[in-house]
Structures are given as C-alpha cells and as structure tokens.
Amino acid sequence: MSEIHKELRHAPEENPENQKIDEISSRILESRFECPICLSCMRDPILTSCGHRFCSKCLHKWLEEKSNSCPVDSTPLKPENGDLFLDRYTKREISQYKTKCPYHQFGCDVELSPIDMDSHINDCEFKKNASRDDKIYCDFKYVGCTEAFEEREDLQRHLEVNHNIHLMMMGKTMEQMIISQSEVNKNARDSKLWDPPPKNNREQLQPEKSQSNVEQLLKDLYERIVVLEQQNREQSIIISNQKTTIMSIQNSLTHFGDESLRNCNGIYIWRIDGFTQKITEMMAESMMLYSDEFYTHKNGYKVCGRMNISKKNIDFLSIVLHLVPSENDDALDWPFIGVISFILVHPEDSDKSIRERTYSVPNLEAFKRPGAERNRRSFGYTEFISLDELPNFTRNDRLIFRIEVKASDRFESSHLNEQENCLG
C-alpha cells in the first residue's frame, strides 16, 4: 500500500469534541468546504479521481460499508489504483479560517482553525466545566431547535407542545437540502468535463443511485411530517377538551361560591389577609376595601361590607354596610328593616372581641332599594376602632370581621303589634 494511502487511512476517531467543532465550523466555513457525507467541515480532505472532496474517514467508511463508488456521482473508486489523493491545498484553505473553542461559553477565548482545534480541546482548561452540562437536547436539534432540558419529562412536554415549530424547521431544512442537492448535481455534471481517462475498465456511472438516495430521504421526511401533523391535530383536540373542562370547573366554582354566599343566613366571615399592606394603602391613597356580596337569607337582601380610614378622624377605622341590587329586589319589602351587627374578632380571646349592634332606620337613604349599582349611602360605624389598637386583633397579618345582618319579618312584627293592641 502506498505511503499516501497509509496516511489517508489514519483518520481521527469520532468524539463529542469533534462534533462540537463540526457544529461551529459548519456555520462559518463556505459550503465548498463541507463534506457531502457528514455535512460538516472536512477533516483531512481527500480529492477523488472524479473531482469530489470528502473527509478521509467519511469516505473510507463509505467505501467499506456502503459502496465502492463515489457518494456523489457513483463513479467506481479504488484506493489501490490511485483514485484518492490528499488535498493539501483545501486543507490549507480550511486552516486559514478561525473558529471559537467549543467551550467558549464556559470561558475559553481561544480561536483556532478547525484543523488545530483537535489538539487544543484535549487540553482545554474549561473542558471540565462542560462535563457538568448534562442537559438533554431536543430531538430536532439538527434542524434548528436549540432547546435543552434537565429532565426527560420536560423534553417530552416540549415535543408535544411545539409540533408546529418543529414542522416549520423540518420544512426549512428540506428546502435547504433540495437546494443543496441541486447544487451538488450541477457540480457533478460540471465535473464530468474534467474527469481523467478511465482506468482498468471502470464501470459506467450510476447517477440514478444518488438520486434514489435523495428521494428516499425526502420520502422519510414527508412521512415524519405527516406523523407530526397528526400528533399536532390530536394535541389540539386534547387542549380544546381541557379548556372546556377548565371552563366547566371554573363555572362550578363560581356557582359554588355564589351559593355559599347566598345560603350564609346573613352571617359573613370577612378574613382580610395582608392587612398591614392594605391599611397602608388606605392611609396613603384613601382606598376603600369592600367585602364579598352576600345575602341576608336565601332569596333575601343582598349586602356587602366596606372598610376605610374614617374621614372624620384619620386615627380610626370605619366599618359600614351597603345594600346591593339583586334579582330578588322586586319581591322584597322596602325599605330594609332589620338588625346589623359588626364583630371584630380577637384572635385569642373571644371575650375581647369588639361587638356593635345597630338597627336600621327606614327613612334613611341607606336602607332604600338600590338602583343599578350598590347604594351610594351606607350605614355603620365611622369610628369603629382606633388604628393603634388594631395590632391586638391581627394574627399572621390577618384581620377577621364577622358581619351579621338579619332582616325583620314584617308580618310577624305587625301581628305582634295587633296582639298588644288587643290586650291593651
């Protein structure tokens, strides 16, 4: 075997560092420096007798495992007959290009040619940092997806959600492959003008075999696209069903919350979390804090509580009640007549809770039937408690009020009055 042939046989072993260099250099070098087999920067370039260039390792592996012919135009190649030549000129051209070290993201600032990078990465001091990178990369990495994940479950969710993006990436890659193949075919046709004389009754060219390989690749890609489109459709149906289920649950929760306020029998527990922040906003911005709207009884009056800093005395907290319009108003007696109680609950001793009870005053605007919005007038205590005393009633920054509203039964009240008059 010739000395040149021996040198060609000693190609570098494939390793992760080489792959990193290939990914970087393939984005920088011109397309003419790409190996048609691995589509990466050529290593130890070889020029064939039919005028094509390949990596030494790629071509030898192709000749041993695939076919004894050129991968581009199927021209028979026999190394022992001198069909392969070291392309030192191309190797020198590639060496003039500079690329960043694959570990530059970990701190390495070295820039070398792809040829010199092999020896550098073995001794790169930042290589140990890269070994900690155990991320799982997306299956569509080689068509442009740059996502990486810590857990395989996260990768699976990414694949399920991003069908459309991956389809677009594959379509773009296919378009580039078709354009690239067209250029290769054109170069193959042009190279026939420079083919050397046939040696040892070389077999006839078989360009249809290369074309068949491209057609099979395109067929595989189209089949993959069909599968992805089907998965995308299935995921869309699942998402639509999930949205419907979520809306149903939200409606149920809303209905349940409304029912609990409708059936609370006029007793509402008002838990105010983050009270320190809220009282600060009340003091700074004259903010008013409203409770949920609740009912005095089922099909009864609808009311809500309001809390704010007293306008009469800014050192006190005000607590009042508003009547709120409801679907029951046209069947209720007006003005509202009943008993209203405000209880500020002490967190440790109920005997220390502050309790205030008052009765409605029918001739006041606050108890007349509300219009389209809550009654602008309210009724309650404008100086319920001093702000200095409030810390004694909070626990874990929570303040609790209990509001009790009981509507009077006018029929029973009038019946009792009639009995008293009869006895009198």
Establish if 416 belongs to a structural domain: no
Establish if 197 belongs to a structural domain: no
Q: Are residues 62 and 159 in the same domain?
A: no
Q: Are residues 74 and 148 in the same domain?
A: no
Establish if 215 belongs to a structural domain: yes
Q: Are residues 232 and 291 in the same domain?
A: no
Establish if 199 belongs to a structural domain: no
Establish if 29 belongs to a structural domain: yes
Q: Are residues 47 and 108 in the same domain?
A: yes
pTM, rounded to two decimals = 0.42
Given 133, 160, 178, which residue is the final one in a domain? 133
| Structural domain containing residue 282 | 267-410
Q: Are residues 287 and 379 in the same domain?
A: yes
Q: Domain count for the chain, please give it.
A: 3
Given 113, 133, 153, which residue is the final one in a domain? 133
| Angle of helix 114-123 versus helix 16-25 axis, rounded to 10 | 140
CATH number at residue 34: 3.30.40.10
Q: Which of 54, 79, 68, 51 is nearest to 196 (CA)?
A: 51
Q: Are residues 111 and 184 in the same domain?
A: no
pLDDT (tens, 9 = 90+) of the chain, 424 residues, equals 333 333 333 334 444 455 554 554 444 566 778 888 887 788 889 999 888 889 988 888 888 887 788 888 888 888 887 888 888 888 888 888 777 787 776 778 888 877 777 778 777 887 766 655 557 778 787 778 888 887 878 888 888 788 788 888 888 877 777 776 666 666 655 555 554 555 454 444 455 555 667 777 777 787 778 778 888 888 888 888 888 878 877 766 665 557 878 889 999 999 999 999 999 999 988 889 999 999 999 999 999 999 999 999 999 999 999 999 999 999 999 999 999 999 999 999 999 999 999 999 999 999 999 987 889 999 999 999 999 999 999 999 999 999 999 999 776 555 444 444 444 4
**How many of the other CB atoms lie within 10 Å of CB of 199?**
12
Q: Are residues 403 and 349 in the same domain?
A: yes
Establish if 200 belongs to a structural domain: no
Q: 3-state DSSP: the chain helix, strand, coil percent, rounded to 5?
A: 45, 20, 35
Q: Are residues 18 and 127 in the same domain?
A: yes
Establish if 419 belongs to a structural domain: no
- Structure tokens that stand for 341 in this block: 């109680």
Q: Are residues 354 and 386 in the same domain?
A: yes
CATH number at residue 384: 2.60.210.10
Q: Which of 46, 8, 41, 9 is nearest to 113 (CA)?
A: 41
Establish if 423 belongs to a structural domain: no
Distance CA 85, CA 45 (A): 9
With 0-12 / 13-18 / 19 or more C-beta atoms within 10 angstroms meaning exposed / middle / buried, residue 365 is middle
Distance CA 262, CA 254 (A): 12
Q: Are residues 4 and 124 in the same domain?
A: yes
Q: Are residues 27 and 123 in the same domain?
A: yes
Q: Are residues 5 and 96 in the same domain?
A: yes
